[in-house]
Amino acid sequence: MRTAQDPTADRPAGEPGQRAPHPARRWVPWQGRASRTDWALIAAMLVVVAVGLVLRPLKPFLLASHPVLLAFLSGDLVPIGAAAAFARIGEAPLWLVVAAGTLGMVKFDWLAWWAGRRWGAGIIGLLTASPRVLRWAHRARDADPRVIRAAVVLAVLPGVPPAVVFALAGWAGLRVSTFLLLDAVGALAMTGLVAGLGYGLGQHAVDVVLLVDRYASAVSLTLLGAALALPLAKRLIRRRGRPGRA
């Protein structure tokens, strides 16, 4: 029986000509030789990241014209609130806004759960470089299962690293059906709260969204420029901070 702690348990051992397992590497979450499933899972996660990067400069344009679609595609709270504001003035049914926002928030979370189930601590170490988060994950894995369930529901709160929490849930052995249910409960609660606020603001929120739409090009270029400039600035700061450099 395969366990979450042994990501290579489904691979045959002792076959003629089989190479000895390679030591773990910091840039991959698995140990030893990767299987097709490993590569497929890591590729799917990279595609999700790439879609998010492509979608980022398009958000200001979609916010006013297709807020419900943007809520589904991004799962972000801002388009959920904007879509609810448009629902207040009759542009979309509120139930559709809540459904799109909830599905948008949870649609790829199962990948993180699966990664935790398959790779355990390997994927958590890849997702975060914070020693504090890593220590918390190792302690939480052996804690009361109710702690893991509560963490999945509360992963929507600001400041909580959801991918780490979902990977931890998989590593701790939380069943996928239970995980999906708890994940949906948390997303529905947050979506309902934000949609309620947006619906209450109504026309005032719509006016703000339309103002953003008017300057969508400038906003998109600013976001794109910031995304490109921040890594370069951090690299320059690190270089200047190294001792022994002229």
**pLDDT tens digit sequence for 200-237:** 776 665 555 555 545 544 555 565 556 556 666 766 77
In a domain, 85, yes or no: yes
pLDDT score of 1: 41
Lowest mean pLDDT among 41-45, 126-130, 232-236: 232-236
Lowest mean pLDDT among 97-101, 180-184, 227-231: 227-231
C-alpha 22/C-alpha 25 separation (Å) is 9
The average pLDDT across 98-117 equals 94
Confidence of residue 114 (pLDDT cuts 50, 70, 90): very high
Residue span of the structural domain in which 122 resides: 37-213
In a domain, 191, yes or no: yes
In a domain, 24, yes or no: no
Burial call 161-186: b when 16+ CB within 10 Å, e when fewer: bbbbbbbbbbbbebeeeebeebbbbb
C-alpha 83/C-alpha 101 separation (Å) is 9
Is residue 16 scored above 50 in pLDDT?
no
For the four alpha carbons of 99, 105, 110 and 61, in that order, the dihedral sign comes to positive
Confidence of residue 98 (pLDDT cuts 50, 70, 90): very high
C-alpha 213/C-alpha 182 separation (Å) is 35
In a domain, 135, yes or no: yes
Angle at 112 (CA atoms; ends 109, 118), nearest 5 degrees: 140
Place of tokens 């999906």: 180
C-alpha 177/C-alpha 164 separation (Å) is 19
Chain centroid to Cα 242, Å, comes to: 33
In a domain, 114, yes or no: yes
pLDDT tens column, 72-82? 999 888 888 88
CA distances from 197 to 81, 159, 170, 193 (A): 7, 20, 33, 6
Q: What is the mean pLDDT of the chain?
A: 77
In a domain, 101, yes or no: yes
* Paired tokens of 244: 């022994």
What is the share, in percent, of the chain residues with pLDDT greater than 70?
A: 71
The total domain count for the chain is 1
Helix (H, G, I), strand (E, B) or coil at 174: coil
Lowest mean pLDDT among 46-60, 82-96, 158-172, 226-240: 226-240
Query: What amino acid occupies position 237?
Result: I
pLDDT score of 20: 38
For the four alpha carbons of 87, 90, 94 and 99, in that order, the dihedral sign comes to negative
Which stretches of the chain are DSSP H helices? 36-55, 59-65, 67-74, 77-88, 94-106, 109-119, 121-127, 131-141, 145-154, 162-171, 176-201, 203-214, 216-241
What is this structure's pTM?
Answer: 0.69
In a domain, 20, yes or no: no
In a domain, 47, yes or no: yes
* Paired tokens of 127: 């997702």
C-alpha 110/C-alpha 152 separation (Å) is 12
